[in-house]
Amino acid sequence: MTLAAAHADSGDTAWLLAATALVLLMTPGLALFYGGMVRAKSVLNMLMMSFVSIALVTVVWLAAGYSLAFTDDLGGGLLGGLGNAGMARLTPDSVHGTVPTLLFATFQLTFAIITAALISGAVADRTRFGAWLVLVPVWTLLVYVPVTHWVWGPGGWIGAKLGALDFAGGLPVEITSGASGLALCLVIGPRLGFKKDAMRPHSLPMVMLGAGLLWFGWFGFNAGSALGANGLAAAAFLNTLAAGCTGLLGWLLVEQRRGHPTTLGAASGAVAGLVAITPSCGTVSLLGALVVGLAAGVVCSYAVGWKFKLNFDDSLDVVGVHLVGGVIGTLLIGLFADEAMTGGPEGLFHGGGLALLGRQLVAVLAVAGYAFAVTYGLGKLLDRTLGLRASEEEERTGLDLTVHAETAYDHGVLGHGAPVAPVRKAESPA
């Protein structure tokens, strides 16, 4: 949707250009984060699932996704139209608020990219790459685009009509990816050896590097959502930093009580805090941000273990971190929303009563239920047609070699270098 304005503001435009680049960097950061968490035999496949999402989502977003999400509502607050399909009628002079519409569309595109890539962590080590190439664009159009319109689109039923708050993507990004990851886990089934074999991360330094890049990019994700170089962006920036820190500390506190604070826990805790503050960074005070991050770090550290009790194999804890963290951050708006940040709505702890919390709960249930149901159906369809799961032989050998004809570390396997001495089984990073 192009909003009436005389011209774009140069300061706001410069900041959003930088923020867009920061958010795009998050997907390569996610690739490293996930790549380090899988076993060595499938690390390249994990990297590829994120990188290919950049290309796939970009094409469908420019073709139809942006228009369906952000043009005027067709009715009922459910979906926009195709007036800007193929970016039609948008010129360098088109303005959205105080920034060029083409820049706003690109900023929103980077959100769509990382949301699709996030899902890959739930089904790592066992998904057919060809099926992933179909799943990503179809899922983007069927799940991400409608939910984005509900939350941020003109006339969307969650944002414009219900009045639920989501500053930077707890609903369309975190909850949709987490609920969709859960659905695909149930469709595709657990990895071979789930709950029997040790499936430790093969490179914790890679995990930490990926987490650092994610944290860096998250400042563009959250502060950029102010769509201007202003005080609200500054507050969202600080809240993002604070919540990431308390999320990290909360997770480590739980691990310390268990005996061993870990690097994986530190990285996961920071991400959990950042996930939770995403919807609330522009609605809560600094104190609220500290509490949101701490709550996410503690709760998500327990939630990642639920898969063993409930018997679903969420390979890289997308459900435990992104779904649970997104729900925490979205619901806590109902408790900590501050009028000084929102310009009106207040949470329970600021005298606003339970009304906002009720609206947040309705939004969470609707988005999670919709994303789960549609993704489950899409997953079943792909599984019965293309086949969603890799063969047992491919999974045992590793997807890097069987799918991509490459290996991340043992170059001698494909004749690209001198033969490498065999590694004793006990020392194998896989």
Please answer whether residues 176 and 115 qualify as being in contact, where contact means their C-beta atoms are separated by less than 8 angstroms: yes
Cα distance between residue 396 and residue 413, in whole Å: 16
- Residue 100 backbone dihedrals phi, psi, to 5 degrees: -60, 140
pLDDT tens for 50-94 read 999 999 999 999 999 999 999 999 999 999 999 999 999 999 999
pLDDT on residue 6:
61
Using CA of residue 142, residue 365, residue 79, residue 64, what is the dihedral sign? negative
Those residues with Cβ within 8 angstroms of residue 353's Cβ, 6 or more apart along the chain or in another chain? none
pLDDT beyond 90 at 394: yes
Q: Give strand pairing partners of 284.
A: 337
Reading the block at residue 348, the tokens are 């329970």
Q: Considering just the CA atoms, what is the radius of gyration of the chain in Å?
A: 21
d(CA 179, CA 224): 25
Q: What is the mean pLDDT of residues 343-353?
A: 94
In the prediction, which pLDDT does 256 show? 94
> Is pLDDT at 412 greater than 50 in this prediction?
no
Cβ atoms of residues 112 and 64 within 8 Å: no
Say which amino acid occupies 5.
Answer: A
How far, in Å, CA of 381 to CA of 272, rounded?
32
Share of the chain above pLDDT 70, in %: 94
Name the amino acid, one letter, at 309.
K
Q: pTM of the entire structure?
A: 0.93
Looking at residue 247, its pLDDT comes to 98
- If DSSP codes are grouped into helix, strand and coil, which group holds residue 98? coil
- Torsion angles phi and psi, residue 83, rounded to 5: -65, -30
Please name the residue ranges forming H helices in 259-354: 263-280, 286-303, 306-310, 318, 324-336, 339-342
Which residues does 257 contact at the CB level (< 8 Å), separation at least 6?
none
* pLDDT (average), residues 106-133: 98
Average pLDDT over every residue of 218-237: 98
3-state SS, residue 126: coil
Whose structure tokens read 């992933």?
A: 132
Mean pLDDT value across the chain: 93
What integer pLDDT is reported at residue 7 of this predicted model? Answer: 87
pLDDT score at 272? 98
| pLDDT for position 127 | 97
Residue 75 burial class via C-beta count within 10 angstroms: exposed 0-12, middle 13-18, buried 19 and up: exposed
User: What is the tens place of the pLDDT at every residue in 2-44?
Assistant: 444 468 999 999 999 999 999 999 999 999 999 999 999 999 9
Report the DSSP pairing between strands 95-96 and 99-100. Answer: antiparallel
List, for residues 136-179, the tens digit of each pLDDT value.
999 999 999 999 999 999 999 999 999 999 999 999 999 999 99
pLDDT given for residue 4 in this prediction: 43
100 has a pLDDT exceeding 80: yes
Per-residue pLDDT band for 411 (boundaries 50, 70, 90) equals low
Q: What is the pLDDT of residue 407?
A: 92
Which pLDDT value is given to residue 116? 98
Q: Rounded to whole angstroms, how far apart are CA atoms 295 and 8? A: 39
